[in-house]
């Protein structure tokens, strides 16, 4: 089995905001996996001291890096910062995962293993063998409904298009044109998988059990849900009517001054 494991280090990008209760144990378990992994913690100035704990981890182990940001700037922008770091430092893969053990580190070797056959790998709740645990019924219905809605509107083939536990090859990130990503929050996940499918990248999925966070509080808000719906329609129709009108008006005004 060991000979089947990847030998190239991947960068695991972990956005954090008030994850002091989880970050030390999470990083420890990531680095204990039987695959070569490095960790990048992107902390949004957590008031609970997560950033200081991350710095201590980095000082103890060169496989751990930290980026500090001035405040909460969104999940998507944290991943973009991580993707750019992964490309700059020559990693062949970039992995995204939550800091709260919803995505358990023991799935990391399986996620990397299927990268031989695909360009993007997703830890999926909605393929055979996957699922969730610890969620109340309303949360399950919301997640299923959001996933089904995004799949239907955007015609996505991926079973779990709202999953955040993913692995991307560096070549995918180079071709996606990261500077044009519109979304900044959780809707970033839908936008990324949509762009990957439209460019013809092979997307694979492995089953995971998504665990409700053990410690800390959820970061999903009603505003994020509204933004996600907006992003889905924006991706479906490229640009919404008022954006097209604004673009036409801007072009008209610009031409008038030529």
For a pLDDT cut of 90, what percent of the chain falls above it?
A: 60
* pLDDT the model gives residue 147: 84
Q: In whole angstroms, what is the distance from residue 171 CA to residue 18 CA?
A: 32
Residues 6+ apart with CB under 8 A from 153: 232, 233, 236
Q: What confidence tens digit (pLDDT) does each residue in 73-101 have?
A: 989 999 999 999 999 999 999 999 999 99
**Average pLDDT along the chain:** 84
Distances (CA, A) of 251 to 108, 242, 255: 48, 14, 6
Strand-pair partners of 210:
132
CATH class (in words) of the domain with range 2-256: alpha beta
pLDDT at residue number 177: 87
Measured between alpha carbons, how far is 112 from 181 in angstroms, rounded to an integer? 25
Question: Can you tell me the distance from the alpha carbon of 6 to that of 114, in angstroms, rounded to the nearest whole number?
Answer: 10
By the 8 A CB rule, do 91 and 38 touch?
Answer: yes
| Length of the chain, in residues | 258
Provide the 10 A C-beta neighbour count for residue 220: 15
Average pLDDT of 199-212? 94
Residues 4 and 113: beta-carbon distance below 8 Å: yes
- The predicted-structure confidence for 32-64, as pLDDT tens digits, reads as follows 999 999 999 999 999 999 999 999 999 999 999
Alpha carbons 182 and 231: distance in angstroms, whole number: 8
Q: For 160-187, what is the mean pLDDT?
A: 89
* Residue 3 scores a pLDDT above 90: no
The reported pLDDT for the residue numbered 232 is: 67
**Residue 54 burial by CB count (10 A; 0-12/13-18/19+): exposed, middle or buried?**
buried
Q: Indicate the pTM of the whole model.
A: 0.82
Listed by start position, the domains of the chain span 2-256
For residue 48, how far is the Cα from the chain centroid? 23
CB 120 within 8 A of CB 168: yes
Residues 6+ apart with CB under 8 A from 34: 2, 5, 109
- Flag whether pLDDT at 164 surpasses 70: yes
Please report which confidence band the pLDDT of residue 196 belongs to, taking 50, 70 and 90 as the band edges.
very high
pLDDT of residue 134: 83
Identify the three-state secondary structure at position 151: helix
């Amino acid at each position: 089995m060991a000979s089947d494991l990847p030998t190239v280090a991947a960068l695991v990008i972990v956005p954090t905001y008030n994850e002091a209760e989880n970050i030390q144990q999470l990083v420890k378990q990531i680095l204990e996996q039987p695959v070569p992994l490095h960790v990048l913690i992107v902390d949004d100035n957590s008031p609970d001291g997560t950033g200081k704990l991350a710095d201590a981890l980095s000082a103890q182990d060169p496989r751990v890096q930290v980026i500090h940001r001035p405040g909460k700037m969104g999940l998507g922008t944290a991943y973009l910062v991580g993707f750019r770091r992964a490309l700059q430092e020559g990693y062949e893969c970039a992995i995204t995962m939550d800091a709260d053990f919803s995505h358990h580190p023991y799935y990391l070797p399986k996620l990397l293993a299927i990268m031989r056959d695909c360009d993007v790998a997703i830890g999926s709740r909605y393929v055979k063998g996957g699922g969730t645990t610890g969620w109340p019924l309303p949360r399950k219905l919301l997640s299923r409904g959001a996933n089904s809605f995004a799949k239907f509107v955007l015609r996505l083939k991926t079973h779990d298009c709202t999953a955040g536990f993913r692995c991307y090859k560096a070549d995918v990130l180079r071709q996606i044109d990261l500077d044009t990503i519109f979304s900044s929050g959780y809707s970033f996940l839908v936008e990324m998988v949509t762009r990957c499918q439209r460019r013809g990248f092979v997307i694979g999925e492995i089953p995971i059990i998504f665990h409700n966070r053990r410690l800390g509080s959820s970061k999903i808000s009603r505003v994020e849900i509204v933004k996600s719906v907006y992003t889905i329609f924006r991706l479906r129709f490229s640009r919404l009517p008022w954006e097209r009108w604004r673009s036409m008006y801007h072009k008209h005004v610009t031409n008038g001054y030529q």
